[in-house]
Structure 1
Amino acid sequence: MSVATKLSEQELQEQFEARIAAGDKIEVDDWMPEEYRLALIKLISMHGISEIMGALPEKEWVPKAPTLYRKLGIMAKVQDEMGHGQLLLRVAEDLLKPYGKNRGDLMIDLFEGRLKFHNVFHMETKSWGDAGLIGWLVDGSAIISQTNMLGASYGPYARALQRICAEEVFHAQHGEAIIMALAEGTPEQRELVQDALNRWWESLLFFFGPETKDTTGTSKQDVTIKYKIRVLSNEGLRQSFLTKYVPRIQSLGLTVPDQTLHFDEAQQKWIYEQPNWEYFKKIQRNEGPCSQERLTLRRSSYENNAWVREALTALAN
């Protein structure tokens, strides 16, 4: 590579970083460094796949919801999540075009273990209390994570998040309504909620991921923060979750299953028992309680509906 080319690329990088610093939105056809493009692909494709896989735990409760009203509510939520996934995969697909890839390649990456889906969606949903808690606290966690990126420097992602976050607010309200009805119900219903909270608490701490450092001491989240794709670190997001939801959980008379949990005034942060991060890594390897079951279901659906994709491709050509 010539010196002139190196200088040209350096100038492009400097101009790009100046745009980021100025708060400009980067669009799909704009020049961007490969580091930025790859960070976006990894983030948005995992987000999109997680929306699709995240519909599966609640899909199980559509026929088992206690009333027709509740069935309709959770069914609408499942439809929304699938729509979010399709929207995000379109955004990711535009970024993949220089590599000759499309949404279909992302699905293959999922099935072959190269693309991960969010750790919470590997877990079991044993009761109606779990279904409510997913809507209230898991979707609540998603809102905290996603609003952290509403000002993302990549315009198509930021615009997609505007719609997704607005709908996620309704999802969280839907879950909260279920939890409040159970918490204010019979002792058995109340116990259903406490049991769900006990089982899901570790997953809720897992939600935002570890605050990891690599061998150079640099946070793995630095690239997304450097390019203003996100604002807070994983631990910053977790602290926001605890600040928002611990008082709400306690206001319902529920007990957070962590005797060490407290807010340290001196440090101005929550102190909590660390979850088992080795188990987190196991889940990431698709070795969670329902990992293979949900991957099998998604793979079967993808294969059984191949004829639809083929027909649409034929029409497009």
Structure 2
Amino acid sequence: MYNYVEDGDSKTTAYVEKDTNKYNAFMNRIEAGEKIEADDWMPEEYRQALIKLISMHGISEIMGALPEKEWVPKAPTLKRKLGIMAKVQDEMGHGQLLLRVTEDLMKPYGKNREDLIQDLLNGDLKFHNVFHMPTKTWADAGMVGWLVDGAAIISQTNMLDASYGPYQRALQRICAEEVFHAQHGEAIIMALAEGTPYQREILQESLNRWWPSLLMFFGPSTAATTGSSKQDVMIKYGIRKSTNEELRLAFLDKYLPRVFSLGLTVPDKSVRYDEDTGKWAYQQPDWQEFKQIIRNKGPRSKERLRLREIAYENNSWVRKALAPQPATH
């Protein structure tokens, strides 16, 4: 369990027994469907799992705005420009909200949001693999909105009843807005699918490039990991309900029929619906490549991190202006 001090001491034994009682009471609350709040007692494993999950989610919202931001000045019409600008604004707002939720969890360690940004720039805080990828054409802007945000909705709605109250409430708002983002992306995709041969060509080319990243989005299956995984910990504590593989199959169930209905194909000849299992068969992505990408070795990792670093440096005066000033006598 959580033995924080050395064994063999009578005080230690009493401490561990007391902590065990707290843990059991905590798990009873989880199993009863109660919500845990920021000031409640929680096991260190639970707190750490939440910090890693929510900080990665928050930073991914911020980093995820960057690929689409690149297309604000290049959007084909004023209407499209306004739509993608609004989406970028929403994503930054989601990041701000989630980093505040994370900050409350970090208070026992004396850390705040600025530490999270430093962790990002130092390479200690990861962000989603999809946001390390390039957006080469306008079709990519649609693909991010339609399929990347579609994958995010599947992942996030799986946690709409998360045991941690502040995160669960934040997700209620975020998921509602992500639905509009997915519709925004779908509108772009539909326009391209019904457009000229060139538009259909760049749409298919975009899907081909994004397909491996979309499968990686949900993370490795249990079979691809050794020992206990983060998903096991989060399921145990009621933070999420489904495994990575279950979420990936839910994504395929929802979107493969839509992809095929548009006359598009996926770059995996093994994809087929297995009537016996009631599941899609497909080729697993390269999980070694996935590990390299999230270690900031993806196609656009350095450029996007540098943009965040520049923004952090340029806005240092704002942080100084808002910082509490020492009292004068």
Q: TM-score, normalised by structure 2?
A: 0.94
Aligned to 2:129: 119
Letter paired with 2:14: A
**Do the aligned residues in 2 keep the contact of 1:213 with 1:219 (CA within 8 Å)?**
no
**Do the aligned residues in 1 keep the contact of 2:133 with 2:299 (CA within 8 Å)?**
yes
Aligned to 2:272: 262
Which of 252, 272, 293 in structure 1 is aligned with 2:282? 272
Aligned to 2:198: 188
CA deviation profile, 1:165-197 (whole Å, cap 9, x unmatched): 000000000000000001001111111111100
Shifted more, 217-226 versus 25-34: the winner is: 217-226
Q: Give the deviation of 1:252 after TM superposition.
A: 0.8
Letter paired with 1:59: K
| 2-structure distance, mates of 1:128, 1:266 | 39
| 2-structure distance, mates of 1:72, 1:250 | 30
Aligned to 2:25: 15
Which structure 2 residues correspond to residues 302-317 of structure 1 after superposition, within 5 A? 302-314=312-324
Root mean square deviation, CA, Å:
1.4
Letter paired with 1:123: M
Residue 156 in structure 1 maps to residue 166 in structure 2? yes
Residue 299 in structure 1 maps to residue 309 in structure 2? yes
| 2-structure distance, mates of 1:315, 1:134 | 43
Aligned to 2:77: 67
Which structure 2 residues correspond to residues 121-160 of structure 1 after superposition, within 5 A? 121-160=131-170
Unaligned runs of 5+ in 1: none
Q: Give the deviation of 1:217 after TM superposition.
A: 3.6
Letter paired with 1:54: G
**Do the aligned residues in 2 keep the contact of 1:65 with 1:128 (CA within 8 Å)?**
yes
> Secondary structure of 2:280's partner?
strand
Letter paired with 2:200: R
Letter paired with 1:143: I
| 1-structure distance, mates of 2:25, 2:292 | 41
Unaligned runs of 5+ in 2: 1-10
Aligned to 1:46: 56
Residue 236 in structure 1 maps to residue 210 in structure 2? no
- Structure 1 or 2, whichever has the larger Rg, is 2
Q: Cα gap change, 1:269/1:52 in structure 2, threshold over 3 Å: closer, same or farther?
A: same
**Do the aligned residues in 1 keep the contact of 2:49 with 2:234 (CA within 8 Å)?**
yes
Identical counterparts, % of pairs:
72
Shifted more, 306-315 versus 278-287: the winner is: 306-315
Residue 35 in structure 1 maps to residue 72 in structure 2? no
Q: Give the deviation of 1:221 after TM superposition.
A: 1.2
Letter paired with 2:59: I
> Secondary structure of 2:162's partner?
coil
Letter paired with 1:312: L
> Secondary structure of 1:257's partner?
coil
Q: Give the deviation of 1:6 after TM superposition.
A: 1.6
| 1-structure distance, mates of 2:224, 2:290 | 17
Aligned to 2:237: 227
> Secondary structure of 1:270's partner?
strand
Q: Give the deviation of 1:257 after TM superposition.
A: 1.6
